[in-house]
Copies of this chain bind each other. A is one copy, B any other.
């Protein structure tokens, strides 16, 4: 007897998280922190805000932005995609969003919201804004502020009771301008450089 097996393959997009999340924020949230026409839905001319995509690694530019040129190259592709998939499969935890220059197909800014589940605050969660980075050629366009504002709104939308970030003393003023307050020290022990 001949068995015919039909396998349906679901074509998934390659985004780290559902882009609708960002779109809903863009539609519903406003902020007074951004000036000069920059908004959540309009990061700037020719620029687009979206989740990180697995396709961004092939271009290399995302890793260049993170100043991790040693991660670019054939040898590490598997490692990077494996890390991307691990983040994607971890439920509601990793939200890396990027700003792309559409014409140049280049990632020019990026930030991450990481969500941590707690027992405190009636089993609430907290957000953390991590790895805020803007390409040198795209500074002065309020993209840094935009990333932090999006990180704040995303944390709120994800049900966090607070969001936080760590920064050097020199960056305090910048973050105060977008409504963050100093809440003590960040202390570290390093195991490798």
Residues of chain B within 8 A of A66, CB atoms compared:
119-120
CB-based contact B191/A181 at 8 Å: no
Q: Which of A121, A156, A186 counts the most B-chain CB atoms under 10 A from its CB?
A: A186
Which residues does chain B contribute within 8 Å of A175, judged by CB atoms?
187
Q: Of A1-9, A35-43, A134-142, A159-167, which stretch is located at the interface?
A: A159-167
Contact B191 A83 (CB under 8 A): no
Decide if the interface of chain A is mainly helix, strand, loop or mixed: mixed
Please give, as numbers and ranges, the residues of chain B lying within 8 Å of A128 by CB-CB distance.
116
> CA separation between A116 and B95, bound complex, in Å?
12
Q: Indicate if the CB atoms of B119 and A192 lie closer than 8 Å.
A: no
**Stretch from A20-28, A86-94, A101-109 at the B interface:** A86-94
State the CA gap A165–B188 with chains docked (Å). Answer: 7
Is A156 a contact partner of B191 (Cβ separation < 8 A)?
A: yes
Residues on the B chain within 8 Å of A68, using CB: 119-122
Nearest neighbor of A190 in chain B, beta-carbon distance: B162
Contact of A181 among B80, B83, B155, B187 (CB under 8 A): B187
Docked pose: A128 CA to B180 CA in angstroms: 21
Give chain A interface residues in 106-124, CB to chain B under 8 Å: 114, 116-124
Q: CB distance A166 to B183 under 8 Å?
A: yes
A:36-82 near B, CB below 8 Å: 62-63, 66, 68, 70-71, 76, 79-80, 82
- Contact surface of A with B, Cβ cutoff 8 Å: 62-63, 66, 68, 70-71, 76, 79-80, 82-83, 86-87, 90-91, 93-94, 114, 116-124, 128, 130-131, 152, 155-156, 160-169, 171-172, 175-176, 179-192
